[in-house]
Amino acid sequence: MTGTTAPTATAPTAAPTATDPRPAYAAATAWMTELLANVTEQQYALPTPCTEFDVLGLIRHIVGTGKRAAAAGAGRDVMSVAVDLPTHAAADYAPIVAEAIDTWRDDSRLTAPIVVPWGEVPGAGVLWGYVNETLVHGWDLAVATGQPARADAAAVDGAFAFATRFIPAQIRAMDDVPFGPVVEPRPGADATERLANWSGRVSAPWVSADE
């Protein structure tokens, strides 16, 4: 993803991993479940703001991300869980995230070290990462398919605290960082769109200037 680099946001004074991400994950995945239910087959070939995926590819990736979140909560090897499989379908998502929510009920998972693609991280940080990914890809899917693109405010606020601290603007040029440069939000952008901008999503042409 490319865009105009914005100034680095001030990092929160307390690490967001110190708070419980499970309510935010439940809210984010509930929103994603609703979005997926409204996608039609005629929309599968449409492009999305996540330029490596069309709508169908994004759906497959979203399902794979849910599987990884479930694996992390259950203490399974996250890195062995494949994403982007052609067998992944939108209807798979709801039962997968229900499993994920159930596996994270054990409070000890929030402090357990878990190996994920971005390193070995305490469980709360892992789940915040999946909250962030769910919300950003939810925005991708919503604007690509003409659906409301505003997620739960508390979930977005928590994800933004996580993202600004652990995915800062300065690291975007590194080869192993899968995020484009931070994009300056347009005037009037809501919190969900701003979160997507932080991950390198460009609002235009996906969101009209008068929204």
Q: What pLDDT does 211 receive?
A: 58
Q: What pLDDT does 9 receive?
A: 33
What is the number of other CB atoms lying within 10 angstroms of the CB of residue 3? Answer: 16
Structure tokens at 69: 């979140």
Report whether 1 contacts 200 (CB < 8 A).
yes
Stated pTM of the model: 0.88
Structure tokens at 127: 């789940």
- Give the separation between CA 191 and CA 161, rounded to whole angstroms: 12
Q: What is the CA radius of gyration of the chain?
A: 16
- Give the separation between CA 109 and CA 77, rounded to whole angstroms: 14
Strand partners, 47: 54
Q: What pLDDT does 118 receive?
A: 79
Task: Domain 16-198: give its CATH code.
Answer: 1.20.120.450
Q: What pLDDT does 164 receive?
A: 86
Q: What pLDDT does 41 receive?
A: 97
Q: Report pLDDT digits (tens) over 81-134.
A: 999 999 999 999 999 999 999 999 999 999 999 998 878 889 999 999 999 999
Q: What pLDDT does 168 receive?
A: 65
- Low-confidence stretches of the chain (pLDDT < 70) are 1-18, 168-180, 209-211
> CA quadruple 210, 46, 135, 149: dihedral positive or negative?
positive
Beta strands in 32-170 (DSSP E): 113-116, 119-122
